[in-house]
Amino acid sequence: MAIDSPWMTFAEACEYARVAQQSMYRALRTHELKATQGAVRPGTVRGRWRIHRDDLDTWIRGEEPQEVTPLRRVFPKRADL
């Protein structure tokens, strides 16, 4: 499996960690594993999971995840203001 980006999809993360989907969902639900959900597609309730390789390695080693800092949305300044 060749992964160029450090960000993995849910399926790639399951394959990388060699765990079943239920185990990965449980880790996400209980916040044992840090991840982010992408933009919501039309007709879906939630976006797709993206998991960083470093966070997945931390989870595989059984270490506690670092504190999650929420991202802030930044808007570009409008020229007409």
For residues 58-69, one letter each, b for 16 or more C-beta atoms within 10 angstroms of the residue's C-beta and e for the rest, the string is bbeeeeeeeeee
| pLDDT value, residue 63 | 83
9-45 per-position pLDDT tens digit: 899 999 999 999 999 999 988 888 988 887 666 766 6
53 or 37, higher pLDDT: 53
| pLDDT value, residue 31 | 86
Q: Are 33 and 49 in contact (CB under 8 A)?
A: no
| pLDDT value, residue 21 | 93
- The DSSP secondary structure of 13-51, one letter per residue, reads HHHHHT--HHHHHHHHHTTSS--EE-PPPTT-SS--EEE
